[in-house]
Amino acid sequence: MRGSPGRNASCILLFIVLLAGEHFRCVEAEHCVWYGECGKVEKHPEKKYNCNYTGPPKPLPSEGYDLLTELCPGYDYGNRSLCCDVDQLNTLKGSLQLPLQFLSRCPACFFNLMNLFCELTCSPHQSQFMNATKVDTSNVLEVQYYIGKTFANAMYNACSDVQAPSSNVKALSLLCGKEAKDCNATNWIQYMFSISNGQTPFPIIPIFSDVPVSGYTPMNNQTFACTEGLEDGSGSCSCQDCAKACGPKPVPPPLPPPWTILGMDAMTVIMWISYMAFLLIFIGAVLGAWCYRKRTIMSEYGPILDSNNPLSINSNNPDQANASCCETMGERFENSLRILFSSWGSFCVRYPFSVILGSLILVSVSSAGLIYMRITTDPVELWSSPTSRARQEKDYFDSHFGPFFRTVQLIITTPLNESSIVQSILWRIRRPIWSHSRQRHTAPGAGSAA
């Protein structure tokens, strides 16, 4: 049955309204929140606010193509209509130099971070996930940035293990405003977008959700895990910067069964048996020697006391007078030693203080040469000869260019408070000349807002 003309007209009108709604929704999705840079920030005159702009994205001038390819290659297509100009791209590049030093070790981590800032700074769909909450005549003073929880967690997971070799800590310890163990996806992004880090000129409030909030669709772009390579051919992160890339730890082979004797450790039993055997043999040898001497050898004092013994000096044996020359000299030498040491012992007993004082004087005089002793602790003096070629070349270098010393780095951070700007001071200590240079290690600002 054919419908009435009124009903057909109503259906056509409804269809036109739906198409118009979709058209206006698409047009609205192409709106910007800002474009270009305008007024200077009062607290940071070197930084600028982004200009308030709610129109459609504009084609990027040709002089910004190289910057766009370097920073945000995902937008390098078509007529490159974006919500940022060349000045904002230059500001974005400057604000990302510090994270580049630490996070570029892991391509996936740095790609995800760049994705976060490129969407914030230049996305032609800013009005879908950004809301300018405070504006004045020409400047954007505060924005809300709707970010997907999935994206934030994936970005954090890809960067959580990246190391900073210069300071021997994780990179997030230098970019999160707190220790890496206390850092997570939420407070890391909040710190990067907070004016307390000294880099962001105006507040950027991140709102995390995976579902639309207040009519805004959170930015939830594709991310790469640290175990994945990028589309440009970059490889995955190294094992040092990505624990998941290390793979499972090898399982050690099972231990062999223990060697036992009568239920005890075999080596312990063997050592005890060896020790007891040695002890029995030693004691038996000592007892046997003692018994043998007792039976066959007379006491050394026996011949002296017993006058009937032919070996006694008290005997009338005529052979006793026929002593050899060596025996006579030995007897005289022994008598001389006996007389000498008897006299020395008697003197020490009679004059103890004189002996002690004389000994101290003798030791002091003998040790007086220690004042001329020189202890060498310089490894160059210890391990290289003054006439060696390496030593001569080092002396030539030191005389013409100054002494060479190893560089020691200290990273000192100031406490966090409202009146101070978080920064680090990198001191290069060189003895005997100290020179120092400053290097900021705070987190980057928000794209062109940094």
Kindly tell me if the per-residue pLDDT of 234 is higher than 90.
no
Inside any domain, residue 357: no
Question: Do the domain assignments include residue 49?
Answer: yes
Q: Which residue has the tokens 């040790």?
A: 367
If one compares 150 and 45, the residue with the highest pLDDT of the two is 150
Lowest mean pLDDT among 104-113, 346-355, 441-450: 441-450
Band the pLDDT of 144: cuts 50, 70, 90. very high
Q: What average pLDDT does the chain have?
A: 79
Least confident of 189-193, 314-318, 404-408: 314-318
> Higher confidence at residue 247 or residue 20?
247
Q: Which of the four pLDDT bands, split at 50, 70 and 90, describes residue 219?
A: very high
The confidence score (pLDDT) of residue 382 equals 87
Q: Summarize the confidence of residues 304-328 as an average pLDDT.
A: 58
* 177: alpha, beta or left? (left if phi > 0; alpha if psi -120 to 50): left
**pLDDT at residue 336, as a whole number:** 92
Q: Flag whether pLDDT at 309 surpasses 80.
A: no
Instruction: Write the pLDDT tens digit of every residue in 239-294.
Output: 888 888 887 777 888 888 889 988 899 999 999 999 999 999 999 999 998 888 77
State the first-to-last Cα distance of the chain, in angstroms, to the nearest integer: 67
Provide the number of structural domains found in the chain. 2
Which residues have C-beta within 8 Å of that of residue 347, sequence separation ≥ 6?
A: 355
What digits encode the pLDDT tens for the residues 353-393?
999 999 999 999 999 988 888 888 888 888 888 899 988 98
Dihedral, CA of residue 136, residue 30, residue 78 and residue 68, to nearest 10: 40
Residue 350 confidence class, pLDDT cut points 50, 70, 90: very high
Q: Is residue 384 part of a domain?
A: no
Residue range 407-418: mean pLDDT, rounded: 60
**What average pLDDT does this structure show over 419-447?**
37
3 pLDDT more than 70 = no
Q: Distance between CA atoms of 114 and 94, rounded to whole angstroms?
A: 13
pLDDT at position 341 is 94
Phi/psi region, residue 198 (left: phi>0; alpha: psi -120 to 50; beta: rest), is: left
| Residue-number span of the structural domain to which 89 is assigned | 33-249
Give the pLDDT confidence of 149-163 residue by residue, as tens digits: 999 999 999 999 898
Q: pLDDT exceeding 90 applies to what percent of the chain? A: 32
What's the pLDDT score for residue 117?
A: 92
Counting beta carbons within 10 angstroms of the beta carbon of residue 100, is it exposed (0 to 12), middle (13 to 18) or buried (19 or more)? middle
**Helix (H, G, I), strand (E, B), or coil: what is residue 444?**
coil
User: pLDDT at position 79, please?
Assistant: 79
Q: Judge whether 220 lies within some domain.
A: yes
199 or 410, higher pLDDT: 199
pLDDT at res. 7:
53
CB atoms < 10 A from the CB of 334, how many? 10
Question: Which of 249, 268, 283 finishes a domain?
Answer: 249
Looking at the predicted structure, is the pLDDT value of residue 443 above 50?
A: no
Q: Is residue 298 part of a domain?
A: no
347 or 234: which leads in pLDDT: 347
Last residue of a domain, one of 206, 224, 249: 249
- Of 56-60, 256-260, 338-342, 409-413, the poorest mean pLDDT is in 409-413
pLDDT at 342: 93
Mean pLDDT of 120-134: 91
Residue 216 is assigned to a structural domain of this protein: yes
Query: In this structure, is residue 234 part of a structural domain?
Result: yes
| Domain endpoint, select from 214, 249, 284 | 249
Query: DSSP 3-state assignment of 306?
Result: coil
* Nearest-angstrom CA–CA distance, 231 and 108: 10
3-state secondary structure string, 166-212? CCCEECHHHHCCCCHHHCCHHHHHHHHCCHHHCCCCCCEEEEECCCC
141 lies in a domain? yes
- Beta strands 140-147 and 204-208 are parallel
pLDDT beyond 70 at 11 = no
